[in-house]
């Protein structure tokens, strides 16, 4: 009895799979004509196209050259090259970002670099066109020439005001 019920269950599952296949075979096909409609179809916002380092209008970025993204990259796609400079305010020597190199040709788009960046200095763009004739052109410098670390802003401490304070009666 169990053999017969399993046999008919298997036949039923086979028919379900064949029905799905037949439905997809007669469904109209949708083909994206990529080069022709390049400006019409846009990729999704969460797509990982290439790594970028956003700069503000004053050419500042958030990267502190800590190297966590470089350490977490599984195949050495990121190189954080630093240099030593003397801080004019404290007079101490500190490490500053010189060049941030990203090899898109060896990147596996795993996003370990962006998720572990403590400052949120790097993020993904939706640019996916990387066709070049030589692999040397796939190495990008993410920090702009002459850019520097975003200066630290002093936290604004709200001072308590006595204008809106109601007097209390302790009787």
User: In the CATH hierarchy, which fold is given to the domain comprising 56-146?
Assistant: Alpha-Beta Plaits (3.30.70)
Phi/psi class of residue 76: alpha, beta or left (left: φ > 0; alpha: ψ in -120 to 50)? left
pLDDT (tens place) for every residue of the chain, 171 residues total:
889 999 999 999 999 999 999 999 999 988 777 777 777 777 788 889 889 999 888 888 888 889 999 999 999 999 999 999 888 788 888 888 899 999 999 999 999 999 999 999 999 998 888 888 999 999 999 988 777 777 665 444 445 555 555 555 554
Contact 63, 121 (CB under 8 A): yes
Give the end-to-end CA distance of the chain in Å, rounded to a whole number: 88
How far is CA 111 from each of CA 47, 49, 116, rounded to the nearest angstrom? 11, 11, 9
- DSSP single-letter state for residue 144: P
Domain positions in the chain are 56-146
- pTM of the entire predicted model: 0.65
pLDDT of 154 reads: 46
């Amino acid at each position: 009895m169990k053999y017969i019920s399993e046999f008919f269950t298997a036949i039923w599952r086979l028919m379900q799979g064949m029905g799905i296949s037949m439905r997809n075979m007669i469904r109209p096909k949708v083909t994206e004509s990529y080069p022709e409609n390049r400006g019409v179809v846009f990729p999704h916002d969460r797509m990982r196209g290439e790594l970028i380092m956003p700069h503000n209008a004053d050419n500042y970025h958030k990267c502190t050259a800590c190297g966590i993204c470089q350490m977490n990259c599984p195949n050495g796609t990121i190189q954080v090259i630093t240099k030593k400079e003397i801080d004019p305010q404290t007079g101490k020597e500190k490490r500053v970002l010189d060049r941030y190199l990203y090899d898109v040709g060896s990147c596996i788009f795993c996003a370990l670099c962006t998720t572990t960046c403590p400052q949120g200095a790097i993020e993904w763009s939706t640019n996916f066109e990387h066709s070049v004739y030589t692999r040397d052109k796939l190495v990008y410098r993410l920090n702009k020439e002459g850019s520097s670390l975003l200066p630290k802003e002093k936290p604004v401490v709200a001072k308590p005001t006595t204008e809106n304070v109601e007097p209390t009666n302790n009787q």
